[in-house]
Amino acid sequence: MRATLTIMAMLWAGTAIAVPMNCADLTPEALGTSDVTFTEVAVVPAGEDSPVAQCRIRATTAERTGSDGRPYALRFELALPDDWNGDFVHQFNGGNDGEVKPATGALGAGTGDQSPLARGFAVVSSDAGHDGAANPDMGLAGGAAFGADFEARQMYGYKAVEILQPLARQMVDAYYGTPVERAYGIGCSNGGRHAMVAAARMPDAFDGLLIGAPGFNLPRAAVQHALDVQTFQPLTGDIRTSFSTEDLHLVADSMRASCDGLDGLKDGLIGDTAACQAAFDVTALQCTGGQNSDCLSAAQVQALQTIHAGPKGADGQQLYSDWAWDAGIEGGNWRFWKVESTVPPWDQMPIIAVMGAASLAQIFTVPPTEVGGSPQELMQFLLEFDIAGQAEMIDASSDALPESPMEVMSPPDSDDPALAEFRAAGGRMIITHGVSDPVFSVNDTARWYASLDKNNDGQAADFARFYPVPGMNHCSGGPATDAFDLLTPLIAWVEDGTAPEAVTASARADNDEVPEGLQGATRPLCPAPQVARYQEGDPKSADSFQCQ
């Protein structure tokens, strides 16, 4: 009786009550959808398969046959928690997509210890319109084979979100019997790119965007893969031995010797990475006078300078970005991407030489190039890619592929962002990026944010804030305080207008790349251009630092 009276009082007060449908009886028609096929509807209890009790829908839409004769569809998973908070998260996935990741909302973009699903958000996740496992006969190149079909490229670039966002939101509205109050988008890497594209193409679709390591210039960044391979492979004839683990530790140790105290405390963590760019000189590591240990060869020093400078065109123009010097170069994630993986089917080749090569060949160039699916064939493609002569293929189009890879993948205004419509719609975004990201340069993101600020008369911080993470690799890892929650301040910013400032970041206890004794240490994560500087007190506590 008391519960009934409480509900009646809430109704009299004008408060909407979410009354979910019966999950077991759900059909597309019941949710008011068309052209959707449910492949699974399940009542999922809280446990190993889900942090909370939920109704889970797995479905497909946009089914078609591509120009390449292959079947395509947009597959997705929608998680509808029993204890719904009234809000919705679109989970943007990474890599080449092609797989429906579990719809929890937490994908390395700084959501903290508790996933959005665990917080009560309804969450949708998709494969962006293609099945990455559909072409096993193509070996390691199969996951990028969809690049032969123009609509599949479009789906991957922007159309999947354009289709799924209103569809999933409609399904959430119908299931709970009340409209979604606020919508958020969350993703890291290619997922961060999806979020940036959505802000430009769908300015009123999201109230808040949490963006990690955004690959908003992904085709240009893919040219860096060719530069890395062509620079590292000749050092020893095998990219996997071009730099030993000890070599990269030596580089990081040299950076610490030059830069560690620039934030006011010598603790093994470099906080002022901007000042470090001028203080560190990699040529000081070059072997001299018969020295053959604790130093780098002249060729290794030149190689590091070359890759940090970024790819150049025939006239010396910058094709992508330069890169920041940072101690995270010793991180396992950095090595995994650029030097050597631990994956036997890849023959321990780094990600750039396998997955990166397949993407550059088949998705990020026009016309696409047919490549073999072995690690050696993919590696050879990058070795033979003419950076100065062929990089124009990322801006090319054709009758079969009428939008260039850059037009498909990047926000329309990525070179000169203003996001006026997103701002006018009341949108808020938080961007975070590891300074030692080996995939997408933090310098590229920093320049993007500087342009955004200029185009908003120095007031970009009114709706967008950028948090570089010193030492962090791609989305996580490295000698860094890489555990942090930026979702909570984003929610506060969207819901009550409280703009985010410093956020406490922690060195994970299981991160053995953090200098000894600093596991569990905390630091302020500061919005750019501020830097966390030591004041006084416990060197392991964020309270001893200030963002300045």
CB neighbours (10 Å) of residue 387? Answer: 17
Whose CA is closest to 178, among 27, 49, 304, 11? 11
Q: How far apart are CA 226 and CA 260, in angstroms?
A: 32
Q: How far apart are CA 117 and CA 112, in angstroms?
A: 12
Q: How far apart are CA 487 and CA 428, in angstroms?
A: 11
Q: How far apart are CA 320 and CA 224, in angstroms?
A: 7
Nearest 5°: the CA angle 382, 383, 389 is 80
Q: How far apart are CA 486 and CA 504, in angstroms?
A: 9
Return all residues near 177 (Cβ < 8 A) that are at least 6 apart: 17, 18, 19, 20, 21
The CA R_g of the chain, rounded to the nearest whole Å, is 24
Do the beta carbons of residue 446 and residue 528 sit within 8 Å?
A: yes
Amino acid letter, 319: L
DSSP tag of 36: E
- The catalytic residue positions are 189, 437, 474
Q: List the beta bridge partners of residue 483.
A: 506
- Reading the block at residue 110, the tokens are 């700084």
